[in-house]
């Protein structure tokens, strides 16, 4: 009864929305400015009238018709971590009435592990989320304790920004942002059930205390909470994080709907009191003098005082203590068998697997400006608490340290992401989206990247708009999601630069020129950001033009170029070709007065990269073009792979499981051979033609009786023409 | 992984089913919103796939577009091979760059004479032209007729150029090879037909035949891949691939885990890269099948007079090709005989015994012997078991080695020592001279030309020194190796670019691009997933995790 209503009503409103797609998007900006006006009016029912009169969408209209005993939204986001926050913000900013349900309002955007954002590949994700109009980059820029650029000399594509962040400040700032969006409602709740309609569509969620919340789109971002269990040594308790209860019941509910779940494990090291540490003998690690930024929005570029990290090392006592007590750890004692990430091993893993390595680096990182806690990076362990302090005290500088929180491991349920399509909507339940660790990833950045995509798509789905899929070749976000849904991953997935085949094209510096136009079209980039973006692109373009035309001869400048590059400078050489020479940087142009003062440092970098590596970039682009031609051929969603006898049995099985959207995706599935791909192509093409023949014959038949009908036959080319 | 076959997939030449490519890189400015509106008009496709493009480099890409549209250009010999020599054989090139590829190898006689062959070939469709096919160095390989059939008026509906060559296998393979070197890839069995079908050229009933062909092919491919992997040549390719992955591991680990790893030792890395480059060149030289196909193996039999060279030739070729007498210096000129060594054609060259002589005719003969030895792929030095290793033999071999050096050949032919007249050897002599010459000769074989004993050992030795394994079933090996050769070429080009990157002191990330390309090329045969392999290798080699 209730289940049929939303569908019916929204279908009533569909034609209206289809006519005004742009209008629907733009309202998000208006409703945001409105938020200041209506802030004081925020009562669960009171504000509905205000919002719904601007957002022309169906469910709001329905509430006006007065079913006040239920709470209805356009989008419900379950979980307030890094995926949940991005999803909820994106959805709310697109004008969808969004409900964010979280277990604990004080832990919104909490950083339970490493107090840091960025690093190789992860920083690209952050830049990309920012370019689309997401929040994580701004947060990291606002709350940093220290910033460093890694891989500085190793090429523009692998250059990576990493920020240590103040975790309390981060959570508080994000909470402020989330609270100040008038389309976004926050509520503490434990979701135990998803409500499903007659057509395998999502209808809402049910909480532990019996509340039902309804929405046509639901995003699950459960993190480590779904049936979470934490371990310290042999002792364990159900918990999502230390001190926070796990979310129970949802796994069983999802299983009963036919989802496959599996278990993963991760861990976090101990925290120590910085006042108990002797830093005098430790190697300090300072931040960069010249601070770089994640966000492309200069409003966030506010420099702050930086804090210092320190480097210490494991000693032979550390190694001995661990070797003597190996059987006290969950993994080697054998009482936990969930898989942990290879790139984030516990200290006992490192010592067991690399026996001949005498010492391992350990970093000490501050967790905030106002707290004494230090994060002991690289030292996560499954040892019982009674051994942990002794273990910490084997490290130089920590001989007298005080431990504030013990290290622990956490086990949790995830849903292998082949069950999602690349829009992050599940294949089984229409309108249900998964994001973050529930899909088997680790990392705040990976979570945020999925969050923004699922938030956008959840909002679009609630408005019956086509969903957005970022192709693998377009971005690290696209690569991440393609890997997740295509490969059958059974260990926590971390983004790495080597996972991208075209990383030279997917750089931090061009994340905005790759994705901001899309963010604008979707409706997440406001006029101010768009203007900033356009003028930046114009400046870069004009500067490249200028460098192409300005010529120099001889002089000090030429002499220095020769010394730096080891190549002679011919007379009347353009600045462009000088910039192409090895080791010549834009700075050198600046130094000799050939630079352009109107450009920011970051814009100069863009110019330098575009010119210096033009050949490589061009080659990669033409390679990419080929892939687009070859692999982006779409596969029908309803293919019956089991009936294709020309495919191998293995690939029939794998293809049915993954249900790839394109030929390229199909070819990346393990066990699908090139011959299978060819067979698949032939099958698809034959079917297309058979279908064409059928429609043609039908048209001929009906055309015999009704000439008028035949004239408007919907063949491909005709649809195309009318559409244009 | 599947990229070897993926390149079969073509852009549709016929009017595109437009909803398949809503966001392919389209230079004409159609905005995203525009597309949205359109999809809403036709609610059939619920998802939009988005490939965003870097706005900053849009301009540069559009100028390149013409040249790069479409997928690979393929080439193959389409007339039957392996039978007796036919009058005409055809090499077909199909794909978007077919004309460019043909233009590189084909010189119309007219233009050759008038313009010196430096203008791009602009053929008129369905207009036959007469000319030559040239190899990379500009040598004429064959006289051919070129038949250009431009899209869509061709079998595959792509640009097709057919080169009608002389009908022997050697010519055809050389022409094909030239096309591959000019940028075409070797067509899979049935690929022309597949393309014709996918491009809407063939009807449905024909499609089923192709499907059958493809599934048969996959069995055969697995079979031949297996055969390839067992071969010595393939193991070389494999070891090169492993080296590539090791290098990639070193580089990539530093890129993803910069602050956790010790710095890279650049000089040793550069050393490794140049060693690999060298190995790859060696592999290419070893795999120089073109030469083998052109004339078969040239095997020169040299030695002092009267050690039984001619008898050896007769015994080997099972003929009385050479005149055999007791008189030293009977053979005055180079005598040829064709044999087949486990399926590989070989030409035996019996030469005049090399010695100081005043006889004018014999003198010329000796000169020719030396020339034959220099041009040969394998040199067989025959000595007599009766005499053992004599002063004359030592002098002779020294002479050959010095003339090889002065000819400055890139690769000197491997030498095999044949101890003939094994039946009448004095037992005590043998040990010592095997020691003397083991450095010079790659193999030592004992034969008896009279009884034919040792000939099969000699054949094996010949194949071994040339890096050729005996072929179990004729023909299969050739196709596999041609493919491997193609990948080697790709890898070599990648290494060349890598070398340039290092010389130009580009940042490390740029090295990985070509190294990855090389690794990909080398892994085509086994079809492994390079990224996963590199990651696994990183995690097993380095202790990572902060």
- Amino acid A521: pLDDT: 93
Q: Choose among B4, B48, B256: nearest Cβ to A497.
A: B256
Out of A147-161, A291-305, A643-657, pick the least confident: A643-657
Element (H, E) at B332: none
Contacts of B524 in chain A (CB under 8 A): none
Q: Quick check: A606 contacting B, CB < 8 Å?
A: yes
Instruction: Collapse the DSSP code of A378 into the 3-class scheme (helix H, G, I; strand E, B; otherwise coil) and give the result.
Output: coil
A498–B256 C-beta distance less than 8 A: yes
Residue A126 or B402, more confident: A126
Residue A718 or B153, more confident: B153
A353–B61 C-beta distance less than 8 A: no
A·B CB contacts under 8 A:
288
Q: Quick check: A562 contacting B, CB < 8 Å?
A: no
Q: How far is CA A706 from CA A701, A716, B58, B477, in A?
A: 9, 21, 49, 62
Q: How far is A487 from chain B (nearest CA, A)?
A: 11
Q: Choose among B15, B25, B214: nearest Cβ to A675.
A: B214
Question: In Å, how far from its chain's centre is CA A538?
Answer: 29
Mean of pLDDT values over B121-139: 85
Distance CA A467, CA B46 (A): 7
- Amino acid A532: pLDDT: 95
- Amino acid B421: pLDDT: 80
A467–B46 C-beta distance less than 8 A: yes
Q: Quick check: B529 contacting A, CB < 8 Å?
A: yes
Q: Quick check: B36 contacting A, CB < 8 Å?
A: yes
DSSP code at position B157: S
Binned at pLDDT 50, 70 and 90, residue A281 comes out as very high
A622–B64 C-beta distance less than 8 A: yes
Q: How far is A43 from chain B (nearest CA, A)?
A: 35
Instruction: Collapse the DSSP code of A381 into the 3-class scheme (helix H, G, I; strand E, B; otherwise coil) and give the result.
Output: coil
Q: Quick check: B25 contacting A, CB < 8 Å?
A: yes
Q: Quick check: A631 contacting B, CB < 8 Å?
A: yes
- Interface-testing mutation among A498, A539, A599, A625, with chain B (most B C-beta atoms within 10 A): A498
Q: Quick check: B23 contacting A, CB < 8 Å?
A: yes
Q: How far is B273 from chain A (nearest CA, A)?
A: 18
Which percentage of chain A shows pLDDT scores above 90? Answer: 62
Average per-residue pLDDT in chain B?
71
The residues, ordered by sequence, that sit 6+ positions from A133 with a Cβ below 8 Å of its Cβ are A90, A93, A452, A519, A522, A524, A525, A529
Contacts of B252 in chain A (CB under 8 A): 497-498
Q: What residue of A is the nearest CA neighbor of B188?
A: A675
DSSP A106-170: GGTT---S-SEEE-TTHHHHHHHHHHHT-SHHHHHHHSEEEEEEESTTS-TTT-EEEEEE-HHHH
Instruction: Collapse the DSSP code of B483 into the 3-class scheme (helix H, G, I; strand E, B; otherwise coil) and give the result.
Output: helix
Highest mean pLDDT among A645-659, B114-128, B350-364: A645-659
Rounded to the nearest 5 degrees, what angle is found at the Cα of A199, between the Cα atoms of A196 and A202?
30
Out of A432-436, A450-454, A515-519, B9-13, pick the least confident: B9-13
Q: What residue of B is the nearest CA neighbor of A508?
A: B54
Contacts of A676 in chain B (CB under 8 A): 218
Contacts of A375 in chain B (CB under 8 A): none
Q: What is the tens place of the pLDDT at every residue in B168-219?
A: 777 788 888 888 888 888 877 677 877 877 777 766 666 666 655 555 544 4
- Amino acid B411: pLDDT: 54
Q: What is the tens place of the pLDDT at every residue in B36-86?
A: 333 333 333 345 666 667 777 754 433 333 333 346 788 888 876 655 567
Cis peptide before B152 (omega within 30 of 0): yes
Q: What residue of A is the nearest CA neighbor of B49?
A: A469
Q: What residue of B is the nearest CA neighbor of A465?
A: B40
Residue B58 or B269, more confident: B269
Q: Quick check: B310 contacting A, CB < 8 Å?
A: no
Read off φ and ψ for residue A681, nearest 5 degrees: -60, -45
Q: Choose among A621, A679, A724: nearest Cβ to B61.
A: A621
Q: What is the layout of strands, in order, in the sheet containing A160-165?
A: A116-118, A160-165, A144-150
Q: Which A positions 282-341 lie with beta carbon below 8 A of chain B?
A: 341
Q: Quick check: B215 contacting A, CB < 8 Å?
A: yes
Distance CA B461, CA A98 (A): 79
Q: Quick check: A603 contacting B, CB < 8 Å?
A: no
Highest mean pLDDT among A58-62, A67-71, B76-80, B479-483: B76-80
Q: What residue of B is the nearest CA neighbor of A632?
A: B21
Distance CA A30, CA A19 (A): 19
Distance CA B152, CA B132 (A): 26
Residue B439, pLDDT > 80, answer no
ipTM (interface pTM): 0.74
Distance CA B86, CA B485 (A): 26
B509–A156 C-beta distance less than 8 A: yes
- Amino acid A697: pLDDT: 82
Rounded to the nearest 5 degrees, what angle is found at the Cα of A709, between the Cα atoms of A707 and A714?
130
Distance CA A306, CA B273 (A): 41
Distance CA B145, CA A253 (A): 72
Q: How far is B129 from chain A (nearest CA, A)?
A: 31
Q: Quick check: A10 contacting B, CB < 8 Å?
A: no
Angle subtended by helix axes A444-462 and A82-93, to nearest 10:
30
Binned at pLDDT 50, 70 and 90, residue A701 comes out as confident
Out of A123-132, A305-314, A566-575, B439-448, pick the least confident: B439-448
- Amino acid B523: pLDDT: 77
How crowded is the C-beta side of A99, counted as CA atoms within 13 Å?
Answer: 22
pTM over 0.80: no
Question: How far is the first Cα of chain B from the last one, in angstroms, to the nearest whole number?
Answer: 32
Contacts of B53 in chain A (CB under 8 A): 514
Least Cα distance to A713 among A698, A693, A699, A692 occurs for A699
Q: Choose among B7, B48, B217: nearest Cβ to A468.
A: B48
Q: How far is B76 from chain A (nearest CA, A)?
A: 19
Residue B125 or B225, more confident: B125
Out of A115-129, A606-620, B314-328, pick the least confident: B314-328
Binned at pLDDT 50, 70 and 90, residue A161 comes out as very high
Burial of A220-241, coded b for 16+ CB within 10 Å and e otherwise, reads bbbbbbbbbbbbbbeebeebbb
Q: How far is CA A189 from CA A66, A77, A171, A204, B13, in A?
A: 24, 11, 19, 14, 56
Q: What residue of A is the nearest CA neighbor of B27?
A: A625
Q: Choose among B68, B218, B513: nearest Cβ to A622.
A: B68
Binned at pLDDT 50, 70 and 90, residue A81 comes out as very high
- Amino acid B279: pLDDT: 79
Q: What residue of B is the nearest CA neighbor of A540?
A: B56
Mean of pLDDT values over A364-385: 93
* HEC letters along A162-215: EEEECHHHHHHHHHHHHHCCCCEEEEECCEEEEEECCCCEEEEEEECCCCEEEC
Distance CA B542, CA A343 (A): 10
How crowded is the C-beta side of A633, counted as CA atoms within 13 Å?
Answer: 26
Mean of pLDDT values over A113-125: 94
Average per-residue pLDDT in chain A?
85
Q: What is the tens place of the pLDDT at every residue in B301-327?
A: 888 888 888 888 888 887 777 778 777
């Amino acid at each position: 009864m209730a289940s049929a209503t939303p569908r019916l009503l929204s279908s009533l409103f569909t034609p209206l929305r289809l006519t005004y797609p742009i209008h629907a998007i733009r309202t998000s900006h208006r409703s945001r400015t409105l938020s200041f006006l209506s802030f004081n009016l925020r009562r669960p029912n009171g504000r509905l009238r205000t919002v719904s009169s601007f957002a022309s969408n169906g469910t709001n209209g329905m509430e006006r018709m007065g079913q006040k005993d239920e709470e209805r939204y356009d989008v419900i986001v379950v979980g307030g971590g890094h995926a949940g926050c991005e999803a909820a913000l994106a959805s709310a900013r697109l004008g969808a009435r969004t409900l964010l349900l979280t277990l604990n309002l004080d832990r919104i955007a909490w950083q339970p592990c490493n107090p840091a954002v960025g690093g190789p590949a992860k920083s690209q994700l952050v830049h990309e989320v920012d370019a689309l109009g997401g929040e994580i980059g701004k947060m990291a820029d606002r709350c940093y304790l220290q910033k460093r650029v890694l891989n500085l000399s190793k090429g523009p594509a692998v250059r990576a920004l990493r920020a240590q962040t103040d975790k309390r400040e981060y959570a508080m700032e994000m909470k402020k942002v989330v609270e100040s969006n008038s389309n976004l409602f926050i509520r503490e709740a434990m979701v135990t059930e998803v409500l499903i309609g007659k057509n395998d569509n999502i209808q809402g969620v049910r909480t532990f205390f019996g509340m039902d919340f309804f929405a046509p789109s639901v995003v699950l971002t459960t993190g480590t909470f779904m049936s979470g269990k934490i371990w310290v040594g042999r002792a364990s308790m159900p918990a999502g994080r230390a001190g926070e209860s796990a979310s129970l019941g949802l796994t069983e509910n999802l299983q009963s709907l036919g989802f496959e779940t599996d278990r993963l494990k991760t861990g976090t090291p101990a925290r120590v009191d910085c006042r108990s540490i002797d830093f005098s003998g430790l190697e300090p690690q300072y931040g960069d003098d010249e601070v770089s930024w994640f966000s492309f929005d200069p409003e966030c570029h506010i420099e702050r005082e930086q804090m210092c990290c320190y480097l210490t090392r494991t000693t032979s006592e550390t190694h001995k203590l661990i070797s003597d007590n190996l059987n006290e750890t969950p993994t080697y004692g054998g009482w936990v068998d969930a898989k942990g990430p290879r790139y984030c091993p516990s200290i006992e893993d490192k010592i067991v697997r690399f026996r001949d390595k005498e010492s391992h680096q350990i970093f000490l990182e501050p967790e905030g400006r106002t707290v004494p806690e230090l994060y002991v990076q690289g030292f996560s362990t499954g040892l019982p608490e009674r051994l942990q302090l002794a273990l910490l005290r084997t490290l130089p500088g920590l001989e007298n340290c005080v431990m504030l929180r013990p290290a622990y491991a956490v086990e949790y349920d995830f849903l292998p992401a082949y069950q999602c399509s690349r829009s992050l909507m599940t294949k089984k339940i229409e309108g249900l989206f998964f994001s973050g660790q529930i899909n088997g990833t680790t990392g705040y950045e990976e979570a945020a990247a999925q969050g923004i995509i699922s938030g956008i798509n959840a909002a679009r789905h609630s408005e019956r708009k086509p969903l957005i899929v970022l192709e693998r070749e377009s971005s690290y976000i696209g690569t991440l999601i393609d890997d997740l849904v295509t490969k059958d991953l059974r260990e926590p997935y971390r983004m790495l630069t080597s996972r991208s085949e075209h990383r030279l094209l997917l750089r931090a510096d061009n994340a905005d020129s790759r994705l901001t136009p899309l963010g604008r079209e979707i409706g997440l980039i406001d006029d101010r950001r768009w203007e900033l973006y356009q003028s930046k692109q114009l400046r870069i373009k004009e500067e490249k033009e200028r460098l192409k035309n300005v010529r120099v001869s001889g002089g000090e400048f030429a002499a220095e170029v020769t010394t730096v590059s080891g190549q002679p400078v011919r007379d009347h050489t353009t600045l462009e070709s000088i910039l192409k020479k090895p080791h010549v940087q834009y700075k050198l142009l600046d130094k000799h007065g050939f630079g352009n003062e109107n450009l920011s440092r970051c814009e100069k970098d863009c110019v330098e990269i575009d010119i210096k590596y033009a050949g490589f970039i061009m080659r990669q682009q033409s390679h990419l073009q080929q892939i687009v031609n070859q692999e982006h051929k779409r596969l029908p969603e309803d293919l019956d792979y089991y009936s294709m006898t020309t495919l191998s049995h293995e690939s029939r099985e794998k293809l049915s499981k993954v249900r790839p959207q394109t030929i390229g995706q199909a070819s990346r599935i393990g066990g699908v051979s090139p011959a299978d791909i060819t067979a698949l192509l032939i099958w698809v093409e034959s079917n297309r033609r058979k279908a064409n023949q059928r429609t043609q014959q039908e048209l001929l038949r009906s055309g015999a009786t009704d000439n008028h009908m035949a004239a408007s036959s919907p063949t491909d080319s005709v649809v195309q023409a009318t559409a244009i | 992984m599947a990229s070897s076959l993926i390149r079969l997939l073509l852009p549709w030449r016929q009017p595109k089913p437009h909803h398949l490519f809503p966001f392919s890189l389209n230079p004409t400015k159609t905005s995203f919103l525009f597309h949205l509106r359109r999809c809403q008009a036709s609610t059939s496709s619920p998802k939009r796939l988005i490939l965003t493009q870097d706005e900053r480099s849009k301009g540069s890409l559009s100028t390149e577009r013409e040249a790069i549209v479409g997928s690979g250009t393929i080439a193959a010999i389409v007339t039957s091979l392996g039978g007796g020599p036919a009058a005409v054989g055809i090499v077909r090139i199909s794909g978007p760059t077919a004309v460019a590829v043909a233009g590189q190898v084909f010189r119309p006689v007219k233009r050759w004479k008038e313009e010196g062959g430096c203008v791009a070939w602009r053929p008129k469709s369905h207009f036959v032209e007469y000319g030559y096919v040239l190899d990379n160095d500009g040598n004429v390989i064959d006289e051919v007729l070129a038949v250009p059939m431009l899209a869509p008026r061709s079998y595959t509906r792509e640009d097709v150029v057919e080169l009608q060559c002389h009908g022997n296998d050697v010519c055809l393979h050389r022409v094909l090879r030239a096309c591959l070197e000019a940028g075409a890839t070797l067509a899979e069995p049935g690929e022309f037909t597949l393309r014709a079908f996918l491009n809407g050229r063939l009807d449905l009933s024909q499609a089923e035949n192709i499907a059958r062909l493809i599934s048969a092919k996959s069995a055969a491919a697995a079979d031949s891949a297996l055969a390839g992997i067992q071969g010595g040549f393939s193991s070389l390719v494999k070891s090169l691939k492993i080296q590539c992955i090791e290098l990639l591991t070193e580089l990539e680990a530093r890129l993803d885990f910069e602050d956790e790893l010790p710095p890279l030792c650049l000089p040793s890395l550069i050393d490794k890269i140049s060693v690999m480059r060298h190995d790859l060149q060696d592999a290419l030289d070893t795999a120089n099948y073109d030469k083998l196909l052109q004339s078969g193996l040239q095997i020169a039999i040299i030695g002092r007079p009267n050690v039984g060279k001619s008898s050896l030739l007769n015994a080997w070729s099972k003929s009385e090709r050479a005149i055999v007498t007791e008189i030293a210096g009977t053979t005055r000129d180079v005598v040829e005989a064709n044999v087949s060594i486990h399926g590989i054609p070989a030409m035996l060259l019996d030469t005049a015994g090399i010695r100081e002589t005043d006889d004018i005719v014999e003198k010329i003969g000796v000169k020719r012997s030396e020339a034959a030895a220099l041009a040969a792929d394998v040199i067989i030095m025959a000595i007599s078991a009766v005499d053992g290793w004599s002063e004359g033999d030592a002098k002779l071999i020294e002479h050959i080695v010095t003339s090889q050096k002065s000819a400055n050949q890139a690769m000197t032919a491997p030498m095999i020592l044949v101890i003939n007249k094994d039946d009448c050897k004095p037992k005590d002599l043998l040990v010592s001279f095997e020691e003397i010459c083991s450095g010079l000769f790659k193999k030592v074989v004992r034969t008896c030309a009279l009884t034919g004993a040792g000939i099969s050992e000699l054949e094996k030795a010949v194949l071994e020194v040339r890096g050729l394994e005996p072929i179990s079933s004729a023909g299969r090996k050739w196709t596999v190796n041609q493919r491997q050769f193609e990948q080697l070429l790709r890898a070599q080009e990648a290494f060349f670019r890598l070398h340039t990157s290092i010389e130009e002191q580009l940042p490390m990330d740029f090295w990985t691009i070509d190294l990855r390309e090389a690794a990909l090329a080398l892994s085509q045969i086994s079809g492994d997933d390079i990224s996963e392999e590199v990651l696994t290798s990183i995690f097993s080699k380095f202790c990572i995790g902060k």
